[in-house]
Structure 1
């Protein structure tokens, strides 16, 4: 019984593939339209796309063109071909701005850019593009059903840029380029004032300033010790219960000792 069902299933698949190939090679545009729509509704995006790609131009200016253009773009989106799908979804909204699918197409185009955003450690050109695209969508569609999701995606992408900037500043500290680290953390705090990494940035800025001060030549030491102490005071004031406050206080005590020693010498 099971063997019979297996043979039947294989036969149906072979017949289906045969029908697809015949339709793909035929000159019957209407048959291609019908099969493309059937395959699309069945979630067989790649096969549907191949047929749609063949007939799309032939329906330009006809009533079916809007539907076909949208399906064509959506096949690419569902195939995770996000660069291409965003291009075609944008094209759809340009051609059919009054379509009931225009808002969905605009959002999914922007979301395609979101999917192309790389991990934070890589170049973030696509992330910036995605934020811009999503923000344009939000501004143009303030009452959209996709508004909440779009804002969530923007926040996620924003955090990726924050994380990138934060890790660059932290890396300067690790490679002992303390001046660059302090400058980078200061820029980071200015650029992302509401960041969730603010407490950590305060601490690592202090750490970099501490190392810069301790390793400084005599004539720069007092100024840099005082600067590092200022960074400690800023951390303690803003985040008195920070998980780094104990380590920060240890650095502060050493800075004070160093400063007292320096004043004794003079």
Structure 2
């Protein structure tokens, strides 16, 4: 019995391969479509994509192409070809805006772009594009069944940008470019008022202002010390029990010592 099953499996496999090869070579679009659909239903997406690529020119812009381009986009998504999937889903929504699949495709297209978003430490061009696409979906389908997931993805993408901006600002402090650090951290706090990084940003602003002040030429030191003291006050006002309290207090003590020189 096992041998019979094995033989039947091999026969079916070779028949399937033969059918696929025939479909690739034939000029009959109906045959290609039929085989491509079978492959899609069997989750053989990579093979199906080759046939969809051949069929696309003949069906583009035609009503009967709706099923084809839906399967094509889905196949790209399921094989993690997200650039192509995003393009195909966008094309589907544009070509078949009244389709019952339009909302689903709009979401999956936006999701495809979100999957292209890289880690926060490198260029975030794809993340910005994903945010734009997902927000467009949210605006267009505010009552969508996908809205909860869309909002969650959008938040994750925006959080990544927030961290990127924060890390860039702190990097100025780490390379001793204190003037740029102060400006960048000020901008970060203004642009992301509810950020979970606010305490850290306020500390690094204090640290930058302090180091800039004590390393200043005498003519600029008093003004910069006063600015640094204001940064200290902003930090402890925001969080009196800040984890940086000991370091901040040490800076404040040194700031006060230096300021005493200007009170004589």
Is TM > 0.5 for Structure 1 vs Structure 2? yes
Q: In the superposition, relative to structure 1, how do residues 179 and 64 fare at CA in structure 2: closer, same or farther (>3 Å)?
A: same
Question: In 1, distance between residues paired with 2:223 and 2:88?
Answer: 59
**Which residue in 2 is equivalent to 1:204?**
204
How many residues are aligned here?
A: 264
Q: In the aligned structure 2, how far is the partner of 1:37 from the partner of 1:9?
A: 21
Structure 2 counterparts to residues 151-190 of structure 1, below 5 A: 151-190=151-190
C-alpha separation in 2, matches of 1:60 and 1:131: 28
Q: 2:259 matched to which residue of 1?
A: 259
Q: Which residue of 2 aligns with 1:23?
A: 23
Other-structure match for 1:236: 236
| C-alpha distance in 1 between matches for 2:45 and 2:237 | 57
Structure 1 residues 35 and 239: CA distance shift in structure 2, 3 A: same
| 1:149 aligned onto 2:146 | no
User: Are 1:37 and 2:37 matched, yes or no?
Assistant: yes
Shift of 1:256: 1.8
- When residues 235 and 21 of structure 1 are mapped into structure 2, their CA distance, relative to the original with a 3 A threshold, is same
C-alpha separation in 2, matches of 1:115 and 1:87: 13
Runs of 4+ in 1 over 4 A off after TM superposition: 1-12, 60-63
> Are 1:123 and 2:120 matched, yes or no?
no
Q: What 5-or-longer segments of structure 1 have no aligned partner? A: none
**Structure 2 contact 19–35 (Cα < 8 Å) conserved:** no
Q: Which aligned pairs between 1:213-228 and structure 2 lie closer than 5 A?
A: 213-228=213-228
Structure 1 segment 34-113 matched on structure 2, within 5 A? 34-60=34-60, 63-113=63-113
More displaced 10-residue stretch of structure 1: 21-30 or 5-14 = 5-14
**Cα separation, partners in 2 of 1:171 and 1:7, compared to 1, 3 Å:** farther
Deviation at 1:22, TM superposition (A): 2.0
> TM-score, normalising length from structure 1?
0.91
Gaps of 5+ in 2: none
Cα distance per residue 1:161-201 (max 9 Å; x no partner):
11111111111111111011001100111111121111110
Q: How has the CA–CA distance of structure 1 residues 257 and 89 changed in structure 2, closer, same or farther, with 3 Å as cutoff?
A: same
Aligned partners of 2:61 and 2:95 also within 8 Å: no
Q: Which moved more, 1:36-45 or 1:11-20?
A: 11-20
